[in-house]
Each structure stands twice: as structure tokens, then as C-alpha cells.
């Protein structure tokens, strides 16, 4: 008896689950019908990220690194699936290596980016990096997997929660990555991935009053408009590269807190 194959459906990734867009809309990309996220989907993703932020930010830095390393393991296990929706195995290997590289920075950020500051008086003065909060990411189109990982990993390692808008033209790699995230130890809501049109979703995120930072690397010609919208609640605006790897990329999503403490107490 012949059977019909079970075809894959490409949904959103919000709060650790895979919902369809609340609008029921889809759009065609890479020969597939992909969920077309709406304004409400954006709001739901921000709510999920905000709910998850405190727990993730409060996780010990070493443990955050271990969670990201576990994500790299899950990506390695799904390497063939990921390779099928990006440029190939070389891109997957580079993305896995990048996650491992950033995982290694988790418990070193305070020492490298922070400082003990000289002051006049019986006080200690320390500068300590802390996560910014909920970070919106507009992923670049190319490389489909590597570009998203390059922007996602530095935001995560510093303790931020993320709402990412996948590549508009090549979204399948982002949803395949979401399946690796869902089977890793990354807490639900720490990473949320939306598919749809950047021109529609970007301004909603830029103007959202509960989003603390926005990465406009994949925004293209809309960058200036998004920066103006982000100014409404003084969002931190980051612009990087689709293939960058640096501790300063992590610093883009951190705030520096200065603490005074009396000597001997």
C-alpha cells in the first residue's frame, strides 16, 4: 500500500514552540510556503523574550557557555539537514565553529570588557558588563545560516534574549536552526525567530517600547528609518557584518555598569 509523504511545514519559533502565524498568512520562498509573521506575532515574540530574559541573564556565565556549546552539538547532529537549506556543509561547519567560539567567551567577558578603575579615596570602583535586555535582530540574506548565527551568538552569550527576523529570501535555514535550538538546552523564549517581510516587521520591532536594542545588519536601505524609530525609547542600535567574529560584537549588546564599594567592607 502506497503512502503519502509527510511534508515539512515551516512555522515561526516563539516561546520554545512552533506556531503558525496568527494571521494564517504564508508567503513563498525557496519553493516552500513559509509563515508570514504579523504585528501580533512580533508582540508575542517580544513578550516571550522578556519573560525569558531574567532567567537567562541570571544564569552563571560559565553555564551560558555550556548551553551554547550544547547548541553547537545539536547543530552538528543536524548538519545534513542544515546543509540542505544553506550553501552546503562548509557553511554549516563554519556556523557550528562560530557558536563554539562565542561559547568560550561567556565566562571571559567580565575580565576583558570590564575593569577595575583607579579612584582617589578609600573605594573600589569596578566596571561590569551586563546584558542590554531584549534584542531584535534583522538577519542578513547571505549567508543564510552563517549570517544569522553571526548576529545571534554574540547577543546570546552576553545574556540577552532575542527576537530575530530571518532572511526574507532564504528563511528555511533559520527555521532549521530553530529546530536545533528547540532540542538544545537554550531556555524557551530566549531565542524567537520570525519569518516574513523585513519592511513590515522591522519598523514594528524598532518602535516597540519593550525592545532594548536592534541589530540592523540585514536592514539594507531601511536602516536610517529604523534608527529614527529606535530613538523613541533610546534603543541601542548595532550594525555588524554577516561574517564577523569578535568580542566587540558581544560588547554591542552589553551595557557597562560602574559600581563603587568601600574598601574593607
Q: What is the CATH number of the domain that holds 157?
A: 3.40.605.10
User: Is 228 a member of any domain?
Assistant: yes
User: Is 18 a member of any domain?
Assistant: no
User: Is 10 a member of any domain?
Assistant: no
Mean pLDDT by 10 residues, the chain (265 residues): 83 96 92 95 98 97 96 97 95 97 93 78 80 96 95 97 96 96 96 96 96 94 92 92 90 86 73
Rounded to two decimals, what is the model's pTM? 0.92
* Predicted pLDDT at 208: 96
* Predicted pLDDT at 206: 96
In total, how many domains does the chain have? 1
User: Is 63 a member of any domain?
Assistant: yes
User: Is 235 a member of any domain?
Assistant: yes
User: Is 152 a member of any domain?
Assistant: yes
User: Is 229 a member of any domain?
Assistant: yes
3-state DSSP helix/strand/coil % of the chain, to nearest 5: 45, 20, 35
User: Is 15 a member of any domain?
Assistant: no
Domain extent at residue 147: 29-262
d(CA 148, CA 143): 8
Strands 254-262 and 123-131: antiparallel
548551553: which residue's cell?
67
* Predicted pLDDT at 259: 79
Amino acid at each position: 500500500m502506497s503512502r503519502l509523504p509527510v511534508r515539512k511545514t515551516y512555522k515561526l519559533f516563539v516561546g520554545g514552540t512552533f506556531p503558525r502565524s496568527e494571521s494564517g498568512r504564508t508567503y513563498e520562498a525557496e519553493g516552500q510556503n513559509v509563515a508570514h509573521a504579523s504585528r501580533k506575532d512580533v508582540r508575542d515574540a517580544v513578550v516571550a523574550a522578556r519573560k525569558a530574559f531574567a532567567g537567562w541573564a541570571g544564569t552563571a556565565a560559565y553555564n551560558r557557555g555550556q548551553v551554547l556549546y550544547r547548541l553547537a552539538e545539536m547543530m552538528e547532529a543536524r548538519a545534513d539537514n542544515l546543509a540542505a537549506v544553506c550553501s552546503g556543509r562548509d557553511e554549516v561547519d563554519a556556523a557550528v565553529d562560530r557558536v563554539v567560539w562565542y561559547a568560550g567567551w561567556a565566562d571571559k567577558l567580565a575580565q576583558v570588557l570590564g575593569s577595575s578603575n583607579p579612584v582617589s579615596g578609600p573605594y573600589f570602583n569596578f566596571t561590569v558588563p551586563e546584558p542590554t535586555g531584549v534584542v531584535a535582530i534583522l538577519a542578513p540574506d547571505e549567508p543564510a545560516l552563517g549570517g544569522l548565527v553571526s548576529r545571534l551568538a554574540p547577543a546570546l552569550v552576553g545574556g540577552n534574549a532575542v527576537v530575530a527576523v530571518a532572511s526574507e529570501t532564504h528563511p528555511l535555514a533559520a527555521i532549521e536552526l530553530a529546530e536545533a535550538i528547540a532540542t538544545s538546552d537554550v531556555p524557551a523564549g530566549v531565542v524567537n525567530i520570525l519569518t516574513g517581510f523585513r519592511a513590515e516587521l522591522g519598523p514594528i520591532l524598532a518602535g516597540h517600547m519593550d525592545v532594548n536594542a536592534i541589530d540592523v545588519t540585514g536592514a539594507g536601505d531601511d536602516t536610517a528609518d529604523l534608527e529614527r524609530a529606535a530613538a523613541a525609547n533610546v534603543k541601542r542600535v548595532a550594525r555588524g557584518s554577516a561574517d564577523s567574529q569578535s568580542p566587540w560584537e558581544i560588547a554591542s549588546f552589553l551595557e557597562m555598569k560602574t559600581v563603587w564599594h568601600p574598601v574593607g567592607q
